[in-house]
Amino acid sequence: MTNNIKAGLVFEALGLRTEGQCPIQSHICDMFEANEYSDVKSLVADLQQAHWAAGSFNLIYNWEVEEALSRPEWRESIDKALDAYQDATGETFSISTLSDTLIMAIDWVSNDLSYLVESVRYWLVTESGDSLDPSPDQYLFTTEQDALDHVSEGIETRVAYIVQHSPQSVSEDELEALQEQEAQLFTVEEV
C-alpha cells in the first residue's frame, strides 16, 4: 500500500528545514510543504513546472517583491542563484529591473531544488499506534538503514514500555510475541 507523501517530509529528510537556510529555498519549501503527492516524481514535476509568472510562489504583488528585495539575506541568495545559473548555463542573465532578478532567482532555485529532490532515494516508514489507527505517523528517510533503524528503535521503545508497565514478569516467549505484534504496526517502503 502506497501512502501519499507530504512535500514537507521530503524537505525534512533532505535537511532543507534548517536554521540559516537560503530564504528563497525556504520560501519555496513553505509554499509546497503541505502539498501531498502520490510519489516523489510528482513533487519533482510540480517543482519543475512551478514559475513565478504562474503565481506558484505567492510573490505576486509589487509590495511582496519589494519586501523580499529589501532584505539583505534575500539579495545575497539572489546573487548566489544568479551565479549558479551562470555557472550551469554559461549565460549571463541580463537585468532590466531588480524584480526580474528575484523572479529569475526563484524560478532557478525551484528548478535546482527539483533536481535535488529527484537525485535521492527515499524510504517511507509508517508507524501506527494500533492496528486500527486511521492516521499513522509517517517518517521519510534517505537511506534504507536509517528507516530500518527507526523501526527497530520504535519496536524496542514500545516493547520496553509494555514490559516496564506489566504487573507480571514477561517470559522470553511473551517478549518475542510482543516484538512481533509491535513490528506489525510498522511498514517500510521505498517511494
> What is the predicted pLDDT for the residue at 25?
93
The closest alpha carbon to 16, from 27, 7, 29, 3, belongs to: 29
Q: What is the mean pLDDT of residues 141-156?
A: 97
Residue 61 has pLDDT above 90, yes or no: no
The closest alpha carbon to 127, from 107, 146, 147, 143, belongs to: 147
Residue 97, judged by CB atoms within 10 A of its CB (0-12, 13-18, 19+), counts as exposed
Q: How many CB atoms lie within 10 A of CB 163?
A: 13
Is 190 in a helix, a strand, or coil? Answer: strand
Residue 92, judged by CB atoms within 10 A of its CB (0-12, 13-18, 19+), counts as exposed
- Among 103-107, 118-122, 155-159, 179-183, where is mean pLDDT lowest? 103-107
Residue 174 has pLDDT above 90, yes or no: yes
Measured over all CA atoms, what is the biggest interatomic distance in the chain, rounded to whole angstroms? Answer: 77
> What is the predicted pLDDT for the residue at 64?
84
Average pLDDT over the chain, rounded to an integer = 92
142 pLDDT tier (thresholds 50, 70, 90): very high
| Alpha-carbon distances of 50 from 55, 110, 167, rounded to whole Å | 8, 7, 57
| Alpha-carbon distances of 59 from 2, 29, 96, 110, 117, rounded to whole Å | 34, 14, 19, 14, 23
Residue 144 has pLDDT above 90, yes or no: yes
Residue 1 has pLDDT above 50, yes or no: no
> What is the predicted pLDDT for the residue at 2?
53
Residue 92 has pLDDT above 90, yes or no: no
Q: What is the mean pLDDT of residues 90-101?
A: 84
pLDDT digits (tens, 9 = 90+) for 13-48: 999 987 788 999 999 999 999 999 999 999 999 999
